[in-house]
Amino acid sequence: MASALRDRARQLFALACDAADPAQALRRALTAAPLPRPDPGGALLVVAVGKAAIPMAEELLRNLDGPLGSVLVITNYENARDLPGATVIAAGHPVPDANGARAGAEVIALLSAATAHDRVIALVSGGGSALMPSPADGLTLDDKAEVNRLLLAHGFEISETNLVRQQLSRLKGGGFLRHATPAPVAAYILSDVIGDDLRAIASGPTVAPIGDRAAARALLQARGVWPLLPEAVRRYLDDPEPVRPPLPEARNTLIGSNRMSLEAVAAGAGQGARIVDDRLTGDVGKAAKHIVAAALAADTRPACLIFGGETTVTLRGTGRGGRNQELALRVAMEMPELGRDWVFLSGGTDGRDGPTDAAGGLVDVLTPDRIRASGAEPEALLANNDSHAALNAAGDLLVTGATGTNVADVQILLLG
């Protein structure tokens, strides 16, 4: 029975990823709201950034009607491939690298050359923040990479992380719009952020920032991270906010989200399926207890309990893993005897969970026993943040490869 449930969980997770297919989502949006046309003498200038950048750009190129200028596509290494008619740059994620810095510089050069007769099309998807770093004056890529590492290590949620990153970039938090002026900008956005706050998706290149330097500084001080930051970053955030003209407005269109993927899972699972929580955020340990409590309260047979969100992990050890792998391991270790078969899947819809080859984990009642049978202790591995090693020992890693999309995480609990 457990084997059949595990197969079913994989099938339902595939439905979640399919529902977030970037090309289909953009096609629907372009049907509802056609692309703007440039003025006479102008051209369409395209910047696609994020883990779904290539399929979004590919779909856009199929639908273009008007003179085409430059097409620049920036994505992660796993999703990169040639795209006729476009310049593709592969860069590092989740930690920015030199290729990403080069991509950021090329985006600024493209936007700065735009005229009032041109129209800029931005295709934005999850991961864009790390893939297009453009350090503010006086900062280096190493400074930004260290800030990113500290935010990840200290469990900052995505909106908190982007509040900080926006202050340190020339493109985030509306910086993209400032560089594109005077050309109008239309953005099509695939959300990887729970609640779909456009300011937080890829750190909001085409919308107003979440806050200012003072807000970022106060957050970092409150969380105890301020003294750990590079000196140049502290100095930059201590400087007064510069006086700037009002931020130009863009036409921002949301084309896909985590909630849509959860609804696809519910539809595919049929009777007994329900979305329990579409905002599963915060500490991964608390999220595991929430899921276990939902399992204990489930009174239908069979049942499919669906969750979606993006949890955080506080690093206390030296192991490898990611939020989905740790969540799956915690659920496996904390689930009491239910008197029924169950499996639990937690996966990133982009196919990658942390700095590993896995999308997440797929566990059942025997997961802890399989880890111990391998000679390892699941409690010790968890304490060391080594969920990847634990799930690998149990044969419970969820490995899908890159999916070409990213709408945060999906959790599926199947109860027999």
Residues 325-368: tens digit of each pLDDT = 999 999 999 999 999 999 999 999 989 999 999 999 999 999 99
Tokens of 133: 């770093």
Contact 183, 258 (CB under 8 A): no
Tell me whether strands 342-348 and 360-364 are parallel, antiparallel or unpaired. antiparallel
Q: What whole-number percentage of the chain has pLDDT above 70?
A: 100
- DSSP 3-state of 74: strand
According to the model, what pLDDT value does residue 344 have?
Answer: 98
2-15+259-415: which CATH topology? glycerate kinase, domain 1 (3.40.1480)
Listed in order, strand segments (DSSP E) in 53-184 are: 68-76, 87-91, 119-124
Tokens of 399: 């490995």
- Closest Cα to residue 75, out of 132, 26, 152, 23? 132
- Closest Cα to residue 206, out of 284, 132, 291, 283? 132
Residue 293 confidence (pLDDT) above 90: yes
Give the gyration radius of the chain's Cα atoms. Answer: 22
Residues 262, 266: Cα–Cα separation, whole Å: 6
According to the model, what pLDDT value does residue 265 have?
Answer: 97
- Which of the four pLDDT bands, split at 50, 70 and 90, describes residue 96? confident
| DSSP tag of 50 | S
Residues 344, 328: Cα–Cα separation, whole Å: 7
According to the model, what pLDDT value does residue 216 have?
Answer: 97
- Which of the four pLDDT bands, split at 50, 70 and 90, describes residue 149? confident
Residue 120 confidence (pLDDT) above 80: yes
Range 55-81 average pLDDT: 93
Residue 180 or residue 152, greater confidence: 180
Listed in order, strand segments (DSSP E) in 284-383 are: 303-312, 342-348, 360-364
According to the model, what pLDDT value does residue 1 have?
Answer: 61
Q: 251 forms bridges with which residues in the sheet?
A: 186
Contact 349, 412 (CB under 8 A): no
According to the model, what pLDDT value does residue 64 have?
Answer: 85
Whether the model clears a pTM of 0.85, i.e. scores above it, the answer is no
- Which of the four pLDDT bands, split at 50, 70 and 90, describes residue 194? confident
What are the residue boundaries of the structural domains of the chain, listed by start?
2-15+259-415, 21-256
Tokens of 148: 């990113």
- Which of the four pLDDT bands, split at 50, 70 and 90, describes residue 94? confident
Contact 17, 401 (CB under 8 A): no
Place of tokens 């399929």: 55
Residues 28, 21: Cα–Cα separation, whole Å: 11
Residues 338, 320: Cα–Cα separation, whole Å: 30
CA–CA distance from 151 to each of 189, 279, 290, 407 (Å)? 24, 20, 24, 20
Residue 392 confidence (pLDDT) above 90: yes
Residue 188 confidence (pLDDT) above 80: yes
Residue 148 confidence (pLDDT) above 90: no
Residues 280, 271: Cα–Cα separation, whole Å: 23
Which range, of 111-120, 206-215, 397-406, averages the lowest pLDDT?
A: 397-406
Q: Which range in 152-161, 227-236, 240-249 is most confidently predicted, on average pLDDT?
A: 227-236
Range 284-308 average pLDDT: 96
| DSSP tag of 135 | B
Range 276-288 average pLDDT: 96
CA–CA distance from 42 to each of 72, 119, 324 (Å)? 17, 7, 46
Residues 50, 131: Cα–Cα separation, whole Å: 7
Segments in 199-243 forming alpha helices (H) = 213-222, 231-238
According to the model, what pLDDT value does residue 99 have?
Answer: 96
Residues 328, 185: Cα–Cα separation, whole Å: 41
- Average pLDDT over all residues of the chain: 94
21-256: which CATH topology? Rossmann fold (3.40.50)
The region, left, alpha or beta by phi > 0 then psi within -120 to 50, assigned to residue 70 is: beta
According to the model, what pLDDT value does residue 66 have?
Answer: 78
Place of tokens 């923040």: 129
Range 73-92 average pLDDT: 95
Range 277-294 average pLDDT: 96
Residue 65 confidence (pLDDT) above 80: no
